[in-house]
Amino acid sequence: MIDKTGDGQTLSPGDVLSVWKGFYRYKGIYVGDGRVIAASREHGCVIDQTLEGFTEGQRLKNEGFPGQRSRESVVEAASSQIGRPYALFTDNCEHMVNEVHGLQKSSPQLQTAALAGLALVAVIALLRKRPVA
């Protein structure tokens, strides 16, 4: 089954979809019939939501199908996650998307944010050590 969005994007079950949420991209799995399964920070768990609820008016990006599993098995795996608790460091939207695609359960966005935070702390520490003229 292939669906089209209002702006003409083609969506197939198992595709990874994302929208910009200010500081990160919110990711989910398209399961067909205008539905997306995603680990939602706001709801505190993995939810099944409409495409409109997922995008909340933001521009949708189809990130494609990154894994080697069949589309059917990805949709099945995503559906089995519904209700699973959300946890920023271990079970966020990126973790869920990668896991159901059979990829390493990771969150590159979280890793980038952590590295940026460490770099900021290092810069502040260096600036504090500089003598004031």
pLDDT tens-place string over residues 38-83: 999 999 999 999 999 999 999 999 999 998 999 999 999 999 999 9
Query: Which DSSP helix (H) or strand (E) runs through 26?
Result: strand 25-32
Please state the pTM of the whole predicted model. Answer: 0.80
Q: What backbone phi and psi angles, to 5 degrees, belong to 87?
A: -145, 120
Inside any domain, residue 118: no
Residue 60 lies in a domain: yes
Range of the domain at 26: 3-105
Q: Is residue 24 a part of any domain in this protein?
A: yes
131 within some domain: no
What CATH number should be reported for the domain holding residue 21? 3.90.1720.10
Number of domains making up the chain: 1
- 82 in a structural domain: yes
103, 20, 3, 66 alpha-carbon torsion, rounded to 10°: -20
Residue 123 pLDDT level (bands cut at 50, 70, 90): low
Strand partners, 91: 87
In a domain, 119, yes or no: no
Cα separation, 103 vs 89, in Å, equals: 17
